[in-house]
Amino acid sequence: MQEPVILTRRSGRVGIVQLNRPDNLNALNDALMDALGAALLEFDRDEGIGCLVLTGGSRAFAAGADVEAIQDMNFPEAVRTSFITRNWETILRVRKPVIGAVAGFALGGGCELAMMCDFVIAAENARFGQPEIKLGIIPGAGGTQRLPRAVSKAKAMEMVLTGRMMDAHEAERCGLVARVVPLERLEEEALASAALIAGMSLPSVIAAKEALNRAYETPLSEGLQYERKSFHALFATRDQKEGMAAFLAKRKPEFTHS
């Protein structure tokens, strides 16, 4: 019986999704990306889940697209099948926060998938890169667009044009990852962050994620207007009343996510 390409489990209010093609360093193919999208959306619909963690293995988060599966693809086929856009960006439809827990190689599509997470916690052995130039192509799942926004145009230009890998500590200095932790503590740290977020009011968490994403998509004036409207709207929630009452009473809030 063939092993599933995606493994899922839950820890309290945290949904965990693991890429599971270890013999191929979690190379990303159609079957995996379809299964990944389905798993992410299922957790997003689950009212008992407040945050997600996306992870791979200790040797590789994902070493890129499955080159063997796409080497013979031609231009008409790529356009006709909506290669990349058809199933690679499902993660962007997830409204709950997604934390990337990255160990080992996150290259090409793997780096791009990590950048689609809301933030990344990296193990000390993590390596990030966009080596597509070595294959006669360029990044196709956001590498030329998200990477310069994360690490600066100069760093991104160097990485994309040379295929150089960036280690975890350089990635942290550049802002590509939020934190670097020892490999043996990666899951523990990612789950702790996810559990902390999942314990917050879900309406405010979703609003915060959406507002922060607007900062990359709109001019400052429009982003501020969006933030203000979301801020005002949260005063209509039960969790706002509970949160402020708990603060004044010096007790822990009991959010109902409503």
Cα 59 to Cα 245: distance, rounded to the nearest angstrom: 47
Task: Look up residue 175 and give its two tokens.
Answer: 């802002």
* Contact between residue 83 and residue 73 where contact means Cβ atoms under 8 Å apart: yes
Residue 204: closest CA among 51, 12, 60? 51
112 counts as catalytic? yes
DSSP 28: B
Residue corresponding to tokens 């693809």:
73
Q: Which of 27, 60, 62, 65 is catalytic?
A: 65
Q: Which of 50, 100, 108, 109 is catalytic?
A: 109
189 counts as catalytic? no
Cα 96 to Cα 213: distance, rounded to the nearest angstrom: 12
Query: Which amino acid makes up residue 63?
Result: A
- Kind and range of the H or E run holding 52: strand 51-55
Strand partners, 98: 52
Q: Which of 132, 142, 168, 172 is catalytic?
A: 132
- Kind and range of the H or E run holding 121: strand 119-123
Q: Which of 35, 39, 104, 112 is catalytic?
A: 112
89 counts as catalytic? no
* Contact between residue 34 and residue 71 where contact means Cβ atoms under 8 Å apart: no
Bridge pairing between strands 166-167 and 127-129: antiparallel
Residue corresponding to tokens 């079957």:
31
Active site residues: 65, 109, 112, 132
